[in-house]
Structure 1
Amino acid sequence: MFKQTKAFSSFSVNDLQQAKKFYHQTLGLDVVEEEYMLTLQMAGGGRILLYSKPNHTPATFTTLNFPVKNVEETVDELTKRGVKFLQYEGELKTDEKGIFRGGGPVIAWFTDPAGNILSVVEEQ
């Protein structure tokens, strides 16, 4: 039924202008602003819709993953741009840079200005 549908994901933010600055200037994505929403233009024609929600509550799970060739290099670059990586203990224990290397893909998590969890994950 949906095999040919160009599906897209969406999630809320509490401040569209902060989100626009972060996703465009910090992460380097093309961002299209429309009334009450932003569209992130992704490689391959994909898109992610961000919408303003006054009573926004950040997701407690990863909302967006960015596959990269080298997580450590990407973490270093994003850290220079002011991104702070999350630190986890236990099963998902991260190192001092916030990188998980404990089995499975190498991954590091960070948040957008609205508190939504994003990640950079090393391509296999």
Structure 2
Amino acid sequence: MTDTATDAYSSFSVFDLEQTRTFYHEVLGLKVEDRNGMLTIHLPGGASTVAYASRNHQPARFTILNIVVPDLPSTVSDLARRGLEFERYEGTPAQTDSDGIYRANGPWFAWFTDPSGNVLALCERDLRTTDNN
């Protein structure tokens, strides 16, 4: 297959495309395009993902998208001022501090949900390229 594949992309379902467009574009500041009745969300670094409406949507309770930022506390503070609520995960190994940031063991993360309940994260390091030693 790898000899014949020309590209790859991820996708996820949502309840409402208009709410999704507003959230990803206006709240997160990402470029969003309508294509074939779906939304293409352009991600930092050049990749993209597709959101599509589904009447049977079930929110992903796992992280579907990690967005790397250079200064996590500043970004979390800015988004919180704009009304974004961060997950707390109290009483779990992923419990966050009062700012909504997980700062224990490893890279820092801050999780939140989109309007359809899908879990996203902000992180300060790209785990695909970071040596964990």
* TM bucket normalised to smaller: over 0.9
Counterparts of 1:67-78 in structure 2 under 5 Å?
67-78=68-79
How far is 1:118 from its partner?
0.2
In the TM superposition, 1:1-124 aligns within 5 A as 1-2=1-2, 5-88=6-89, 89-123=91-125
- How many Å separate the matches in 2 of 1:60 and 1:14? 15
User: Under a length normalisation based on structure 2, what TM-score does the superposition of the two structures give?
Assistant: 0.87
Aligned partners of 1:42, 1:83: CA distance in 2, in Å? 19
Unaligned ranges ≥5, structure 1 = none
- Measured in 1, the distance between the counterparts of 2:57 and 2:104 equals 32
Alpha-carbon offset, residue 34 of structure 1? 2.3
Tell me the distance in 2 between the aligned counterparts of 1:39 and 1:117.
Answer: 18
2: CA distance between counterparts of 1:22 and 1:42? 14
Q: Which amino acid aligns with 1:53?
A: S
Change (3 A) 1:99 1:44: closer
RMSD of aligned Cα (Å): 1.5
- Size of the alignment, in residue pairs? 124
Q: Which runs of 4+ in 1 moved over 6 A?
A: none
More helix by share: 1
| Structure that is richer in strand per residue | 1
- Quote how far apart the aligned CAs of 1:6 are: 2.9
Distance 1:41 1:112 in 2: 16
Deviation at 1:45, TM superposition (A): 2.5
CA deviation digits over 1:86-123, x for unaligned, max 9? 00122111101211011111000000000000000012
SS in structure 1 of the partner of residue 93 of structure 2: helix
For the pair shown, the structure with the greater C-alpha radius of gyration is 2
Deviates more, 1:90-99 or 1:48-57: 90-99
